[in-house]
């Protein structure tokens, strides 16, 4: 990696956040350790909405990475992009870097808003308060994202350039628990095979073993 301000503190959540997990997974694979501060985002109001935290991220959400020069980086995929720059987790060819962004934007627009939100409703929100039409729409849109991934992965091992990259990390975070959120992974065999490939990468860490694991039990995994 080239010289750059190093991570000093990582703000994440006391409950399992896939967005925070992306960063925790990449930091483990890059061998980066820093102070971790877990906020209670289920508190009313969330600890990410205090004036002190809004000064770090005006959008009031975790994850946030504080760098040694005082910079605060928000948005999980922007943090991945910063940390991976110059490493094996970021392709060097311009078109492949753009494809990494392509899949990370897909994740934030077509995948995470449905799959992560359904997970949050099921684990920490009140699913019964949601209208059936709303749940059905979220189900349809989340499943459509999984189908797009499956089509892409039928001819490839990883999302970009036949190599594990931050595009895979960004998409793995909420996909690997999508079945717990009520989505069907049985009909997406290429996604399931890719999930196994991602989990087999060196220095992989589990979502359920981090500081942000309280309240979330993935019974298929230890911890």
Ligand X SMILES: N[C@@H](CCC(=O)N[C@@H](CS)C(=O)NCC(=O)O)C(=O)O
Residues that bind ligand X (CB under 6 A): 13, 17, 19, 41, 46, 48-49, 60-63, 75-77, 108
Contacts with 189 (C-beta within 8 Å, 6 or more apart), sequence order: 150
Closest by Cα among 120, 119, 117, 90 to 103 = 90
CB of 125 to ligand X, least distance (A): 11
- For ligand X, the nearest residue by Cβ is 61
What span, in angstroms and rounded, lies between the C-alpha atoms of 104 and 115?
15
CB of 187 to ligand X, least distance (A): 26
Query: Is the Cβ of residue 19 or residue 188 nearer to ligand X in the bound state?
Result: 19
CB of 37 to ligand X, least distance (A): 13
Closest by Cα among 16, 19, 25 to 202 = 25
Query: 8, exposed or middle or buried, with CB in 10 Å at 0-12, 13-18, 19+?
Result: middle
Query: Is the Cβ of residue 116 or residue 195 nearer to ligand X in the bound state?
Result: 116
CB of 54 to ligand X, least distance (A): 10
CB of 171 to ligand X, least distance (A): 12
For residues 32 and 8, is the Cβ–Cβ distance under 8 A? no
Closest by Cα among 65, 15, 22 to 40 = 15
Query: Is the Cβ of residue 77 or residue 188 nearer to ligand X in the bound state?
Result: 77
Residues 161, 10, 82, 151, CA torsion sign: positive
Query: Is the Cβ of residue 38 or residue 153 nearer to ligand X in the bound state?
Result: 38
Query: Is the Cβ of residue 108 or residue 197 nearer to ligand X in the bound state?
Result: 108
CB of 175 to ligand X, least distance (A): 14
For residues 63 and 38, is the Cβ–Cβ distance under 8 A? no
Query: Is the Cβ of residue 122 or residue 192 nearer to ligand X in the bound state?
Result: 122
Q: Is 38 helix (H, G, I), strand (E, B) or coil?
A: strand
């Amino acid at each position: 990696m080239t010289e750059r301000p190093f991570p000093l503190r990582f703000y994440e959540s006391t409950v399992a956040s896939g967005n925070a997990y992306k960063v925790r997974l990449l930091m483990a694979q890059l061998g980066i350790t820093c102070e971790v501060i877990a906020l209670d985002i289920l508190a009313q109001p969330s600890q990410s909405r205090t004036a002190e935290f809004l000064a770090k991220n005006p959008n009031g959400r975790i994850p946030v990475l504080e760098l040694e020069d005082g910079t605060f980086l928000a948005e999980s995929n922007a943090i991945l992009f910063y940390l991976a720059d110059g490493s094996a987790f970021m392709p060097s060819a311009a078109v492949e870097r753009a494809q990494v962004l392509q899949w990370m934007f897909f994740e934030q627009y077509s995948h995470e808003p449905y799959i992560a939100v359904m997970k949050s409703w099921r684990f920490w929100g009140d699913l019964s308060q949601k209208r059936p039409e709303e749940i059905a729409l979220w189900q349809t849109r989340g499943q459509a994202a999984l189908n797009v991934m499956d089509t892409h992965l039928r001819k490839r091992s990883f999302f970009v350039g036949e190599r594990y990259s931050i595009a895979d990390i960004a998409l793995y975070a909420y996909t690997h628990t999508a079945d717990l959120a009520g989505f069907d992974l049985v009909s997406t065999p290429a996604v399931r095979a890719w999930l196994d490939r991602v989990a087999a990468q060196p220095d992989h860490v589990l979502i359920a073993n981090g500081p942000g694991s309280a309240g979330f039990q993935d019974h298929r995994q230890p911890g």
